[in-house]
Chains A and B, each alone.
Chain A
Amino acid sequence: MLKYFSGERRLPSLSDITGSQRLAMLLTLMVVAYISWKIGQSAQQTLQFAFNGVSVGAVYALLAMGFTMVYGTVWFFDLAFGAAAAMGAYGVFYLRSSEALQVGQFEVQNVYLNVVMAAVVTGVIGWVLYTWLYPPLRKRISPSVLLVIGALLTIGAGIYMFVLLSFPDDLNEILSPLIGGMVAGAAAMVLSRVYSRGLLGTRNLTPLVVVIGTGALVLGAFCGLLVARTPGSSLYLSWGVSSLLAGSVGLALYRGLYMYMRRKARSPLIMLVASLGVLLAITAFFTIIFQSAPRPLPDAFGSNSWEIGGARIKPFNVFSIGVAFTAFAALVLLLKRTSFGKAVRAISDDEEVAKVVGINTTAIIAIVFFIGATLAGLAGLLSGHDTAIQPRMGLLLLLKGWIASVVGGIGNIYGAIVGGFMLGLVENYGIWDLAGEWKDAIAFMLLILFLAFWPKGLLPRR
């Protein structure tokens, strides 16, 4: 405080504020005035538009998080995320079409698609095994044996995927052994961590192994049976399956295509155009398989909506907002607290140096693509449940996610979620006095406004 009086530092005056800050203040004032005017007109309507905006914003935020993460790591926009979004939505449709169309799912059942997806999953599983399990085990077991076991596992996974996609009506029964096994494995890991501390001194490990093994097996079997005996769980399982499938396609695209391109690309436009080509091809492929007409997805949480303060919101929208925040929290934890996050930050600072330091950049970037595409697939299926799905939805969703990530501040995960919700709100308040068809134009107007005055976005990357 003394500094201000002694003249070392003067109080900030109006002339210190830069032009863009003044403009920001003016705009904020205008927005506040507009909203308060609208509240004066009809508080209930205002709340309704806010609900609509936030529910759409959750989808945009999910997409924007994926974009911003990938852009922050490899410095290009992967437009194929639009295809991943459509894939997420159509995955649910494909697996649950008997519920959605009230007819047999054989109308959309397509062997070629099953084969392609199974091949992608095979590739991804094979890559995962080869990247993470092969190097540490190579020293203990002979490489040829390992390769044979790995190949068998990989082919098994592919066949499993093919069966899963071919008989979507029995989704829960087919998935139950996998889920049971995963639960058993996780339980065994947790239990052995817990007990090994207390019992490390004991010489005879057999009772310990028996206890832990039985406990894990019982838990796994219970979970598997639970899944198998509740047919209603199929819808929720199909969400997981289709978003993970979308993620696998994203990973396969990076590992099989972008990686080679990045080595010789001299401008970011090469990657952009290539991913545009991927988007074109996948969208057209989906149009051929599923036709271009809009289709519904099965009802998730019932169609009756909750009433809060006179405005209505569907339970599903609340759920999608929850998903967005959960994904955001998980991503923040992943990026700030784990060694994986550290590696991602190192790569985004300088990929060459990261490689020199010993980070497996290919693997890390591939996981980043996997996470981004999974989020995009999740966003696609959430938006599909909210409205309807059509093969072209990917392009528009992609553009919205792109806008949201730029408005929020590209490369910043906090910016992505802020930008997503902001875009949703602005879109919905914008169409209050205009027709609903102007939504997309309003979104781009927001983008142009931001780029003209704050090209770094709301929350710039340091």
Chain B
Amino acid sequence: MLRNLQVYSTLTQPFRDPWGFLKERSRNPELWINLVVIGGAVLFLLSKGTGFAITVGTVFAIWAILAVSLNLVVGFTGLMSVAHIGFFGVGAYSMAILTSDPLYEQLRSETIPTFALPFFAALPVSMVMAGLVAVAMGSILNRFRDDIFVLVSFGFAIISFNVFLNWRELTRGAFGIHAIARPAIGGWEADGKLEFLLVALVFLGIVMLITWFIVSSSFGRVLTAIREDEQAIQVYGYRAAHYKMAVWVLSAMLAGLAGGLFASWTSFIDPNSFILLESILMVAIVILGGLATIWGSLLGALVFVLLEEGMRFVPFIPTEHIGQGRQIVLGILLVLLMLFRPQGLVGRYKL
């Protein structure tokens, strides 16, 4: 109760005492970073119209769910994982296979199993699938730390890409899967773009709440302790391996949720969406936004999405180079952050 009151008072402070709040925070660079990023986003989207804003918002929501889920592992627990694209992909493929339309699939030459489940029935299943894969990966990854952990997680990202590409009976390889269902409940279907954005934002809110509950509970404090000193917390009788496994699986399930949303949003997936590079970009978002903050992951995802969309409107960059240009900027940002601000834009934990 007391802690809830404290949270309430910190949340309402800007409204009760805006001048004092600003005065207190104006020394803090985080306020300025927030103002610049969010202000820039709002101005940019206002100038480009609603249809564009909706698309950007949906992309942002999916990346933000991914970043928040990855931050649980990278930021709060201190396990630098590049394997999250695997869980994202497992979620997306589960969603695709479970919901793809049997009538449409009959027309294809290579058949894959079809179930024609509705979106909201398939989503928990895809989360569970991602969780199961995470149990298998985690039991191996749990043995390693630091650089070797990174190397093995690279390995899992590559292995999962290979599985998506080559297990043709299930994923139809490079051809991809079409006609993935949109979220529908009762008679209402989120077939429009705005409806899907709303669904994605609701899920983002749920994921943020779950993450917030995790990190502010005693469980979350053990995670932080593992990050700071694994041996010390083991001395106190906590089994670090179990905690790491638990947070790993939870985070993978959230990533699977993001995958399900992504598959449903694009309604077509192929292995090229789940390459290793995307996973590296994901880590870059988390580090850019800030380690060990939920808010920072949102900020990182916002910067990331704005970088890509904003570059479309820079006159001297040709359209086909936008993805590469964003990658260059991200790479340089990563280097600069590591040099001058190892905790990311608004982070709580220095790498």
A residues contacting B by CB (< 8 A) are 76-77, 257, 260-261, 266-274, 276-285, 287-288, 392, 395, 399, 402-403, 406, 435, 437-438, 440-441, 444-445, 447-448, 451-452, 455
- Which residues from chain A contact B342 at a C-beta distance below 8 Å? 270
Q: Flag B141-170 by CB within 8 Å of A: 1 or 0 each.
A: 001101110111011101100110110000
User: What is the chain A residue whose CB lies nearest that of B158?
Assistant: A440
Q: For the complex, is B332 an interface residue (Cβ under 8 Å from A)? A: yes
Chain B positions 320 through 351: 1 when the CB is less than 8 Å from some CB of chain A, otherwise 0: 01011101101111110011001000000011
B331 near A448 (CB under 8 angstroms)?
A: no
Q: A257-B335, A451-B144 known; 9 other A-B pairs, CB under 8 Å?
A: A273-B334, A274-B334, A274-B339, A276-B334, A395-B276, A399-B151, A399-B155, A399-B158, A438-B166
Decide: A268 near B147, CB < 8 A? Known: A274-B334, A277-B284.
yes
Asked, given contacts A260-B339, A399-B154, whether A281 binds B327 with beta carbons under 8 Å apart, the answer is yes
Give bound CA distance, A437 to B287, whole Å: 32
Residues of A within 8 A of B335 (CB): 257, 274, 277-278, 281
B223 interface residue per 8 A CB criterion: no
Q: Knowing A395-B276, A406-B151 touch, does A280 contact B162 (C-beta < 8 A)?
A: no
Contact: A403 with B151, CB < 8 Å? yes
What distance in Å separates the Cβ of B322 from its nearest Cβ neighbour in chain A? 10
Is B280 on the interface with A (CB-CB < 8 A)?
A: yes
* B155 close to A448 (CB less than 8 A): yes
Q: Is B140 an interface residue (CB 8 A)?
A: yes
CB contacts (< 8 Å) of A445 on chain B: these are: 159
B80 at interface by CB-CB < 8 Å: yes
CA distance A267 to B143 in the complex (A): 19
A268 with B331: CB separation less than 8 A: no
Question: B325 near A284 (CB under 8 angstroms)?
Answer: yes
Nearest CB in chain B to that of A291: its residue: B320
Q: In the complex the two chains form, is B152's CB within 8 Å of A447's CB?
A: yes
Q: Which of A269, A285, A447, A455 contacts B147 (CB 8 A)?
A: A269
Q: Is the CB of B334 within 8 A of A261?
A: no
Main SS class of interface, B: helix
18 CB contacts below 8 A, A to B, read: A260-B339, A268-B146, A269-B146, A269-B150, A273-B334, A273-B351, A274-B338, A278-B335, A283-B327, A288-B325, A395-B277, A399-B155, A403-B151, A437-B165, A440-B158, A441-B162, A444-B152, A448-B140
CA distance A461 to B324 in the complex (A): 40
Complex CA gap A174/B152 in Å reads: 46
Tell me which of A266, A276, A277, A438 contacts B162 (CB under 8 A): A438
A277, B155: Cα distance in complex, Å: 19
Report yes or no: B162 in contact with A440, Cβ–Cβ below 8 A. Answer: yes
Verify B143–A451 contact, CB threshold 8 A. Answer: yes
Q: How far is the CA of A137 from the CA of B161 in the complex (A)?
A: 57
Given contacts A270-B338, A441-B162, contact A447 B151 (CB under 8 A): yes
Chain A's closest residue to B160 (CB) is A441
Interchain CA distance A437-B171 in the complex, whole Å: 15
B interface residues (Cβ-Cβ under 8 A, vs A): 80, 140, 143-144, 146-148, 150-152, 154-156, 158-159, 162-163, 165-166, 276-277, 280, 283-284, 287, 321, 323-325, 327-328, 330-335, 338-339, 342, 350-351
Which one of B165, B166, B323, B332 contacts A281 once the chains associate, using CB atoms below 8 Å?
Answer: B332
What's the nearest-Cβ distance from chain A to residue B107, in Å?
Answer: 26
Q: B169 CB to closest chain A CB, in angstroms?
A: 13
Contact partner of A448 among B152, B324, B338, CB < 8 A?
Answer: B152
Give the CA-CA distance A445 to B325 in the complex, in Å.
Answer: 34
Question: Knowing A273-B334, A276-B280, A277-B334 touch, does A285 contact B328 (C-beta < 8 A)?
Answer: yes
B324 & A288 in contact (Cβ 8 Å cutoff): yes
**Set of chain A residues within 8 Å of B158, measured between Cβ atoms:** 399, 440-441, 444
Q: Which residues of B contact A444 (CB under 8 A)?
A: 152, 154-156, 158-159
In the docked arrangement, what's the CA distance between A447 and B276, Å? 18
Bound CA–CA A256/B159 (angstroms)? 35
Q: In the assembly, what is the distance between CA of A451 and CA of B332, in Å?
A: 32
Name the CB-closest residue of B to A455. Answer: B148
Contact of A280 among B80, B144, B331, B339 (CB under 8 A): B331
CB pair A267–B146 under 8 Å, yes or no, is yes
When distances are taken between beta carbons in the complex, the residues of chain B under 8 Å from A283 are 327
Q: Nearest 6 CB-CB pairs, A to B? A: A277-B334, A281-B331, A444-B155, A280-B331, A284-B327, A274-B338
Which residues of A lie under 8 Å from residue B330 when comparing CB positions? 277, 280-281
Nearest A residue to B155 via CB reads A444
Known: A281-B331, A284-B325. A267 touches B351 (CB 8 A): yes
Please give me the residue from chain B that is nearest to A399 by CB atom: B154
With contacts A437-B165, A440-B158 known, is A280 near B150, CB below 8 A?
A: no
Q: Give the residue name and chain of the A residue nearest to B338 (CB).
A: A274
Q: Are B155 and A447 in contact (CB under 8 A)?
A: yes
Q: A280-B284, A399-B154, A444-B158 are in contact. Are A269 and B350 (CB under 8 A)?
A: no
Query: Which residues on B sit within 8 Å (CB–CB) of A273?
Result: 80, 283, 287, 334, 338, 351
Once the chains are docked, how many angstroms separate the CA of A438 from the CA of B162? Answer: 7
Report the minimum CB–CB distance from B284 to chain A (whole Å): 7
Q: Please name all residues of chain B whose beta carbon is closer than 8 Å to the beta carbon of A288 when the two chains form the complex.
A: 321, 324-325, 328
**In the assembled complex, which residues on chain A have CB atoms less than 8 Å from the CB atom of B333?**
277
Residue ID in chain A nearest B335 by CB atoms: A277
How far apart are the CA atoms of A278 and B330 in the complex, in Å?
Answer: 10
Q: For B276, what are the chain A residues with a Cβ–Cβ distance below 8 Å? A: 395
The complex places the Cα of A192 from the Cα of B332 at a distance, in Å, of: 50
- Residue of A with least CB distance to B327: A284
How many angstroms from the CA of A122 to the CA of B140 in the assembled complex? Answer: 47
Task: Say whether A270 contacts B351, CB under 8 Å.
Answer: yes
Is the pair A272, B150 in contact by a Cβ cutoff of 8 Å?
Answer: yes
Question: Which residue of chain B has the shortest Cβ distance to A440 in the bound complex?
Answer: B158
Q: How far, in whole Å, are A447 and B334 apart by their CA atoms in the complex?
A: 28
Instruction: Give the interface centre of A280, A435, A437 by most chain B CB atoms within 10 Å.
Output: A280
CB < 8 Å: which of A277, A395, A437 contacts B338? Answer: A277
Q: How far is the CB of B115 from chain A (nearest CB, A)?
A: 27
CA distance A437 to B158 in the complex (A): 11
**Which residues of chain A come closer than 8 Å to B284, judged between CB atoms?**
276-277, 280
CB distance from A199 to the nearest CB of B (A): 56
Minimal beta-carbon separation of A269 from chain B (angstroms): 5
Shortest Cβ distance from residue B260 to the other chain A in the assembled complex, whole angstroms: 25
Task: Report if A451-B328 is in contact (Cβ < 8 Å); known contacts: A269-B146, A274-B334, A277-B284.
Answer: no
Residues from chain B with a CB closer than 8 A to the CB of A435 are 166
The interface residues of chain A lying within 8 Å CB-to-CB of B140 are 448, 452
